[in-house]
Chain A
Amino acid sequence: MTNEQHNLGKVSDLSQQDFEGLLKGPGLGLQIGPFSARVRIEVEGLSDLLYDFYRDHTLLDSEIVHSFHVRLQHKRAFPRLYRRTVRFTVDGRKPHEDMPIDQALPVFEWGLNLVVALRSHSFLMLHSAVLERNDKALLLPAMPGHGKSTLCAGMSHRGWRTFSDEFGLIRPGTQEMIPVPRPMALKNESIQIIRDFAPDAFIGPATPNTRKGTVAHLKPTTDSIAKQNTKAQVGMIIFPKWVKEASLNLQPISKGESFMLLATNAFNYELLGEAAFRTVGDLVERADCYRLVYSDLEEATRRLNDLADTNAS
């Protein structure tokens, strides 16, 4: 059965009260790219935020076999009962310790990331932002701290469709990247950079003192979510690195180096073995590969827009 057969419309077709009722009660079925998640939330105040972030996502009925069941619950930390925490569980299991309740939204989003990373081995999962323009996907693989999510967030507000700021998903043996549009985690200085860069973007409240510093989430554009079933072949792979006050530098790199960098930035390359090797080879062979150093987000997005448009013409 396909998800289309179980499509109940968009989250925004529900009232906020009904949305909250489903989250607190039997659970809410959500399509998130190729995944179907059943979500239950028992944390006061979080449902309004989730309604804003997921309002454009597709609702699924309860008859579908979900990819995973996730739950976020309010707990009191024994023996310090005054300390309020949240517990994230997936299919009844607790993958990590309970976290402070004021971090409920980041815990939920990181929990979903964890579930995808640990459970989705029918895909090759590249640690990469993915965007699309002119029907071609752009991969931005990078280690944490290299400005991948900030660049992805900026480009998503300069004419690119967002597939993901975190997961480059592709089924081994195929050639198309798969969208999985979800709120993007902005960290520390990036939050204000994107607020200034895209004043109309929906960015949630900043959560300080998390393991990754201060975090705020950016909602993907409505178009990105509406087209979450539309895949795209890769056209470019660019390895970005943000360097303070650096001049923009975009240089082609060899396919051999690109292969190794891409494979190194995959969550499950070794697990998939030869299938991953062949898939990465196919991606690299088809793509133009570059290394990008940037400090100015506007300049970088303009340069990448020009490059994508030149390649398309």
Chain B
Amino acid sequence: MLTEPVSGVTRWRSTAPADIVWFDVPPDFIAFHRPSGKTHFLNEASKLLLNKLLSEPKDLGEILDVFPSNKARRHVEQMRDLLVHLEGLGLIKRA
């Protein structure tokens, strides 16, 4: 559950890799989250965040640096929404 507002310095990291079991059927990715017992239907960007980008804590700017063409404000908002969504599912947490 989101308890604090997202600021420019908020940093996230993904849950431990062993917490998630994947069923990959591109372009869809289905994740079983062991701690909650919940199954989630995710997109490729979510899988990239969970598996690679957030294995170490990063803030929004650092994440967007990986996608240089996505610096437009529209994409910043989309990425922020995605991070909040994944946090709500318990798949990432604030570092």
Contact digits for B48-79, partner A, Cβ 8 Å, 1 yes 0 no: 00000000000000000000000000000000
Picked from B21, B25, B28, B29, the residue with its CB within 8 Å of the CB of A274 is: B21
**A285–B30 Cα gap in the complex (Å)?**
13
Q: Check: A256 CB closer than 8 A to any chain B CB.
A: yes
Secondary structure of the B contact surface, majority rule: strand
**Chain A residue at minimum C-beta to C-beta distance from B34:** A274
Q: Check: B5 CB closer than 8 A to any chain A CB.
A: no
**Chain A residue at minimum C-beta to C-beta distance from B29:** A256
**A259–B40 Cα gap in the complex (Å)?**
11
Cβ–Cβ < 8 Å partners of B8 in chain A: none
**A269–B30 Cα gap in the complex (Å)?**
15
**Chain B residue at minimum C-beta to C-beta distance from A273:** B37
Which residues in B have some Cβ–Cβ distance to A below 8 Å? 21, 23, 25, 27-30, 32, 34, 37, 39, 41
B32 & A256 in contact (Cβ 8 Å cutoff): no
Q: Check: A277 CB closer than 8 A to any chain B CB.
A: yes
Secondary structure of the A contact surface, majority rule: helix
Which residues in A have some Cβ–Cβ distance to B below 8 Å? 254-257, 259-260, 263, 269-270, 273-274, 277-278, 281, 284-285
Known pairs A274-B32, A274-B34, A281-B30; A259 contacts B25 (CB<8 A): yes
B41 & A277 in contact (Cβ 8 Å cutoff): no
**Chain A residue at minimum C-beta to C-beta distance from B43:** A256
Known pairs A255-B28, A256-B30, A260-B30; A281 contacts B23 (CB<8 A): yes
Cβ–Cβ < 8 Å partners of A263 in chain B: 39
B39 & A255 in contact (Cβ 8 Å cutoff): no
Cβ–Cβ < 8 Å partners of B39 in chain A: 260, 263, 269, 277
Cβ–Cβ < 8 Å partners of B30 in chain A: 256, 259-260, 277, 281
Picked from B21, B25, B27, B41, the residue with its CB within 8 Å of the CB of A278 is: B21
Picked from A256, A273, A274, A284, the residue with its CB within 8 Å of the CB of B41 is: A256
Cβ–Cβ < 8 Å partners of A278 in chain B: 21
Cβ–Cβ < 8 Å partners of B29 in chain A: 256
B21 & A259 in contact (Cβ 8 Å cutoff): no
Given A256-B29, A259-B23, A259-B28, 16 extra CB contacts under 8 A = A254-B25, A255-B25, A255-B28, A256-B25, A259-B25, A260-B30, A260-B41, A263-B39, A269-B39, A270-B37, A274-B21, A274-B34, A277-B30, A277-B32, A277-B39, A281-B30
What would be 16 A-B contacts, judged by CB atoms less than 8 Å apart?
Answer: A254-B28, A255-B25, A255-B28, A256-B28, A256-B30, A259-B23, A259-B25, A259-B28, A259-B41, A260-B39, A260-B41, A270-B37, A274-B32, A277-B21, A277-B32, A285-B25
**A194–B41 Cα gap in the complex (Å)?**
38
**A263–B32 Cα gap in the complex (Å)?**
12
